[in-house]
Amino acid sequence: MNHREQIIVALDVQTHEDFMQITHALQGHATYVKVGMELFYTFGPEAIKHLKKSKFKIFLDLKLHDIPNTVLKSVKTLCRLGVDMLNVHAAGGSQMLEAAVAGLKAAQMEQPQVKTKLIAVTHLTSVNEQILKQEIGIQIALQESVLQYASLAKKAQLDGVVASAQDVMQIKAELGKNFLCVTPGIRPLGSDGHDQKRITTPKDAIKFGSDYLVIGRAITNSQNPGHSFEEILKEIQA
Ligand code: C5P
């Protein structure tokens, strides 16, 4: 896989105009995009149809977290849209994760062409050790908790996890290099961290072994998103 295919651009926009503008600006630059809650709750499956028509690969980032039966049926429905990647929260526990896999298999029974990669969110990259301990109430170290969630996901036969790039080396060492690591919280040198706490440069994320880098505002807030995308590629390859 070349570096261009490893960058997933997060299309966190809400208006039709912004959606059309950003997809147009990314044509010929990005190959993989992420549809998150903002976009999906505004336009629903129509957003996926538009992106598929424009030949983008799609990561549908809805972070499902509910009882197993609801997750199974929701995963089945969403996989039928033909997305390339979909995620659920590992915090839902092993039964919920197994239900997600069962949902994918149920979609594949009906539509054998469905090839969705199913991944689990470990801890959000906006969560740091202090939030984990004082607010969420998990008393083990953040990295240990990430690894515990990643192991749950692997046991339930998911394809990988969403984690901070800072955790990738440990995840790959423990769970194998084929276990996918999708890493948000990426910031090119000298850019704004916004609400992200555990941030990594694109070059370091690749060096640590990330399979996919999720990059949003550093590209989508730019006056020229196509150019910003190419600058990030250059930064990785320098
Ligand atoms: O703009 P920025 O590059 O921070 O965007 C990161 C994207 O990755 C957002 O769409 C956010 O929802 C998503 N994400 C994240 N942390 C996770 C999972 C997804 O930031 N653990």
* Closest C-alpha residue for ligand 1 atom 13: 184
Which tokens in the block code for residue 235? 């930064």
- List of residues 6+ apart from 173 with CB closer than 8 A: none
215 C-beta closer than 6 A to ligand 1: yes
Predicted pLDDT of residue 193: 85
Mean pLDDT throughout 102-126? 96
Instruction: Compute the distance from residue 109 Cα to the ligand 1 centre, in Å.
Output: 32
**Above pLDDT 90, what percent of the chain?**
93
What Cα–Cα distance (Å) separates residue 122 from each residue in 35, 83, 100, 155?
Answer: 19, 21, 15, 14
Whether 63 is catalytic: yes
Domain ranges of the chain: 3-233
> Of these residues, 34, 55, 57, 63, which one is catalytic?
63
Predicted pLDDT of residue 168: 97
217 C-beta closer than 6 A to ligand 1: yes
Predicted pLDDT of residue 136: 96
Mean pLDDT of the chain, nearest integer? 96
E strands, 37-142, are 57-64, 85-89, 117-121
Atom of ligand 1 minimally distant from the CA of 194: 4
- Domain 3-233, CATH: 3.20.20.70
Does residue 206 surpass a pLDDT of 90?
Answer: yes
Kindly report the pTM of this predicted structure: 0.95
Residue type, 175: L
- 51 φ, ψ (degrees, to nearest 5): -70, -35
124 C-beta closer than 6 A to ligand 1: yes
Instruction: Compute the distance from residue 184 Cα to the ligand 1 centre, in Å.
Output: 5
Q: What confidence tens digit (pLDDT) does each residue in 62-110 have?
A: 999 999 999 999 999 999 999 999 999 999 999 999 999 999 999 999 9
Half-sphere CA count of 132, side-chain side, radius 13 A: 20
Instruction: Compute the distance from residue 163 Cα to the ligand 1 centre, in Å.
Output: 10
Does residue 207 surpass a pLDDT of 90?
Answer: yes
Instruction: Compute the distance from residue 214 Cα to the ligand 1 centre, in Å.
Output: 7
- List of residues 6+ apart from 156 with CB closer than 8 A: 94, 97, 98, 100, 101
* Closest C-alpha residue for ligand 1 atom 12: 36
Atom of ligand 1 minimally distant from the CA of 124: 21
